[in-house]
Structure formats: structure tokens, C-alpha cells
Amino acid sequence: MLSFLYRLVRAFRQEHGYSPNVVTMSAQHYQRLLENVPEMADYGSVSRFLRMDVILSEACVHPHVGWKAQGQNKYSAGRLP
């Protein structure tokens, strides 16, 4: 999961010239991420490690990254829309 996210971030940075600040994924993807890095036990540690807000959405088939202005992340902090 980490290598997949790394590739997404790198492609976003190459295309836009800046790094993404949000990643959207399903709860299942989030669980796999936690299994890959067991020392990250909560949302805050995951967000700090990734340097992105994490938005959980069951409508999300594949994780994707993007950029949102501060205050636009209505469903961040691991809450489902």
C-alpha cells in the first residue's frame, strides 16, 4: 500500500508541480495501510506520516490523491461521508 501511495504522490507532483495534501481511500485500504505500518495506530500518526489528510469514502474504489485548500476537508479525520 505504501509503494502504491508513493507512486500516486510522485505522479501528482510531476503533473502539478506541488505535492498533494489529501488522500481518499476506502476503509479497507486504510486498514491495509495500518497493517503495513503497525506503529501508526491512529489517524493523527497516519496523517503526519503521509503529510496528507486522509478521507475515508466507501465510494472510493482505488486510493487517489489531490489538493484541497484548508477548510475544504469536510469529511477528513477518518470520517465517512
What confidence tens digit (pLDDT) does each residue in 15-70 have? 999 999 999 999 999 999 998 888 887 888 898 999 999 999 999 999 999 999 87
CA dist 20 → 38, 41, 67, 74 (Å): 24, 23, 5, 17
- Structural domain span for residue 19: 2-66
Q: How many domains does the chain have?
A: 1
36, 7, 74, 72: CA torsion to nearest 10: 150
Tell me if 35 is assigned to some domain: yes
Look up residue 10 and give its amino acid.
Answer: R
| Model pLDDT, residue 67 | 95
Residue 40, Cα to own-chain centre: how many angstroms?
14
- Residue 78: is its pLDDT beyond 60? no
**Predicted confidence band at 80 (pLDDT cuts at 50, 70, 90)?**
very low
- pTM for the full predicted model: 0.79
